[in-house]
Structure 1
Amino acid sequence: MKRSISAEWLKLRHSRIGIVLAVLPVISLLIGCANYYFNRGVLHNGWYSLWTQVILFYGEFFLPILIAICCAYVCRLEHLNRNWNMMMTTPVSVASVFFAKLIVVSILILVAQSLFMGLYWLAGTLFSLGTFPVETIGWMLRGWYASLSITALQLGLSVRIRSFATPIGISLFAVFIGLGMYTAKLGIFFPFSLLTIGMSVLNQDKLTDVQNVLFWVVNMVLILIFALLSIRRLKNQDMVSS
């Protein structure tokens, strides 16, 4: 597993994925801060009002797209020059290959989440909003945990689909499904809705004990289901490379 993870990092050494990790959080913060600045007359809840503005674009749209981009990127090299076929003949288990990619993408998303929180703190400080609310860090970490099920799903798509853009388009489509599921009070069963719940995008009320348990358990179940399905498919079906 360690060798597989190291190999994934080597593939990213000279890539420009870091630019994407920085640009999307920055854009979402700028849009949210602009909304907050021009609506300060009706937004009176300090840090929490700022959170509602910056997290709406980031949590609902930019973060799912960022996850899809990272997953497509870590599978891009394998889709070239029959590299999938070569990888399947190496003495490395399919599970190690998949989970190495999952771990690497999860670290990349954690970096993006940390950058977003740093920018959020900086923006709130510049707006002179007072004491920083520590609970927003918990929302960020919950969002990162919820992103793992989306990552497992998107990796499964990117492993099977050679096109770089198609899995990203599917992710964007799933975002709207997630909004519908959340509105229908069924968001706890859909990974993109879990991201909305985890990061308190549309509702900053504290989760009940039952909701909190369901959030952590269902997300873990989805991670395992998506991972196991992808690993099984990799084992049982031939890969098509260009």
Structure 2
Amino acid sequence: MRHYISAEWKKLNKIQLLIIGVVFVALSSFIGLGTYFANQSVLIDGTQDKVMWGQLTFYYTQILYPPMLAIFIAISLIQEFERKNLEMLRSNAVSIKKLLISKLFTVTALVIPIQFLVLIVYIVALKVANVELSSFVLLTLKWTLLSILSSLSILCIQAFAYAKTRSFGQSIGISALGAMGGFVLLFLNVNLNKFYPYSQPMIALRSRALEDFSLLELTIFIFVNLLFSVIFYRLTCYELEKRG
């Protein structure tokens, strides 16, 4: 397994993906923080840190994050479909399951610094807004770590979308539709978002709740993300083996 991960890490265009991630964070920060500072004067004292976190992460998770993850995993997978590389790997007895795990692992490794960049932007914005740091920042650190798990479930879904369509544009479009679906559910019934895969980053970062998980909420969150990750990992393996 280590060999697979090492090989994928070398093949992956890490600088390209990190630049894409920084651009997405910058765009969402401009939208979210712009909204916060436009309404800062009417906020109640003691709520500014929570409101800022909500504005920053809500637009990030519900608008740009799923397409960003879709781009990441599509770029990782696209090289396997060029020049029938997947067929060559299979003929050399390369394990499709291990190959996919290594791709998910390496892409997730690149997601981690991007997620922490959001946290850094938040802390810097607090300083700029003269908002005193509180224990709430420690909660945002915990939620940032949990957002990695929510990223994995979307990566698995988008890996399947790309393997099924073999189209970069279509897979990104699916992620955009998935993100829009999260908005629709917010208007229909906010509780449905707890079970909707494209809303899991928002759930992880507590963008709407702005308070820590209860034990039941955390259990549901972990179960939903593991369930989607396992199901779509297996579906992607099947699709790659079938169409390879």
Q: Which residue of 1 aligns with 2:206?
A: 200
Distance 1:238 1:28 in 2: 37
Task: Give aligned pairs, total.
Answer: 238
How big is the shift at 1:60? Answer: 0.8
Alignment of 1:41 with 2:47, yes or no, is: no
Q: What's the % identity of the aligned pairs?
A: 27
Q: Which residue of 2 aligns with 1:18?
A: 18
Alignment of 1:160-239 (within 5 A): 160-182=164-186, 183-184=188-189, 185-235=191-241, 237-239=242-244
* Residue pair 1:188, 1:215 contacting (<8 A) in 2 also: yes
Distance 1:13 1:66 in 2: 15
* Residue pair 2:57, 2:202 contacting (<8 A) in 1 also: no
How well do the aligned residues superpose, as a CA RMSD in angstroms? 1.7
Q: Which residue of 2 aligns with 1:68?
A: 70
How big is the shift at 1:14? Answer: 7.0
* Residue pair 1:8, 1:104 contacting (<8 A) in 2 also: yes
> Any unmatched runs of 5+ in structure 2?
none
How big is the shift at 1:181? Answer: 3.6
* Residue pair 1:56, 1:202 contacting (<8 A) in 2 also: yes
Alignment of 1:50 with 2:71, yes or no, is: no
For the residue of structure 1 that corresponds to 2:182, the secondary structure is helix
Distance 2:143 2:16 in 1: 28
Distance 2:228 2:61 in 1: 19
Q: Which residue of 2 aligns with 1:143?
A: 147
Distance 2:232 2:13 in 1: 28
Which amino acid in the other structure matches residue 222 of structure 1? Answer: F
- Cα distance change on mapping 1:25 and 1:14 into 2, 3 Å: closer
TM-score (norm 1): 0.91
Q: Which residue of 2 aligns with 1:157?
A: 161
- Cα distance change on mapping 1:201 and 1:126 into 2, 3 Å: same
TM-score (norm 2): 0.91
Higher helix share: 2
